[in-house]
Amino acid sequence: MPEKKLRLLVIVGSVRGGRLAPTVGHWFAGEAEKFGEFEIDLLDLADIDLPLAMPAYGAEPPPEVKAIKEPLTERVTRADAYVVVTPEYNHSFPAALKNMIDWHLTEWAAKPVGFVSYGGVSGGLRATEHLRGVFAELHTVTVRETVSFTDAWGHWDHSGNWPKEPEPCNAAAKKLLGQLHWWAQVLADAKEKVPYPA
């Protein structure tokens, strides 16, 4: 009997008008499907209307916020691994992404996180470096390999669907997915034996 596939949540982290994030996110989700070791869940934060104001610690959010948050929290909880697709805004990552991360806490623990970034000359790597610190605080393991698009708007064809030079991008995605799957499997096995002491 084949083992159940691990679940990968790909988070599209920009909600800005005219964004490239969905194009990059769908491309990466396609590469993850080809990789074949994960069940893919693609989450676009533009579809999630989370408020900035949070309830006090221990307090329940109002019913209208619960209706938004609970399905999202279920997706975050069910995932065995995450990939965050992020642009770089002002040397960091988007506020909507930080907000979504902060609405959750223990759901992230003892799971691996990978990053796909894009931007100008830096390729969004400053956003990735800031995210590493955030996810370390949440008890995750961030994988070393990343996918990064410098001059991102020059990487895609006129239809906006695929990188113009796919080979290096696809190779980087495969390397990232290999490390992510290794960590996801190791951590899932470990948690079955010993609960993580968060």
Count how many domains the chain has.
1
For the stretch 18-74, pLDDT in tens is 899 999 999 999 999 999 999 999 999 999 999 999 999 889 999 999 999 999 999
187 domain-assigned: yes
pLDDT of residue 160: 65
Per the structure block, which two tokens stand in for 129? 């470096």
Check residue 13 and report its DSSP letter.
-
Strand order in the sheet with 81-87: 38-44, 6-12, 81-87, 112-118, 141-149
Q: Are 66 and 47 in contact (CB under 8 A)?
A: no
pLDDT at 57: 87
**Encoded tokens for 47:** 């579809």
3-state secondary structure of 114: strand
Q: Give domain status of residue 1, yes or no.
A: no
User: Could you tell me the sign of the dihedral formed by the alpha carbons of 59, 64, 67, 69, in that order?
Assistant: negative
Q: Are 85 and 10 in contact (CB under 8 A)?
A: yes
At position 25, the amino acid (one-letter code) is G
Q: Within a 10 A sphere around the Cβ of 85, how many other Cβ atoms?
A: 31
Secondary structure class of 111 (helix, strand, coil):
coil
Predicted local confidence at residue 162, as pLDDT: 73
Q: Which domain does 136 fall in, by range?
A: 6-193
Show the low-confidence residues of the chain (pLDDT under 70).
1-2, 157-161
Contact call for residues 154 and 123 (beta carbons, < 8 A): no
User: Domain containing 83 — which CATH number?
Assistant: 3.40.50.360
Residue 6's DSSP bridge partners are: 38
pLDDT score at 1: 40
Assigned domain for 94 exists:
yes
- Give the per-residue pLDDT at 124: 93
166-193 and 21-35 helices, crossing angle to 10° = 70
Q: Which two tokens stand for residue 86?
A: 């992020």
Contacts with 65 (C-beta within 8 Å, 6 or more apart), sequence order: 50, 51, 55
Q: Is 5 left (phi over 0), alpha (psi -120 to 50) or beta?
A: beta
CB 83 within 8 A of CB 69: no
Q: What residue type is 162 in one-letter code?
A: W
Q: Is residue 185 part of a domain?
A: yes
Alpha-helical (H) ranges within the chain are 21-35, 63-78, 95-102, 125-137, 166-193
Q: Determine the pLDDT at residue 52.
A: 93
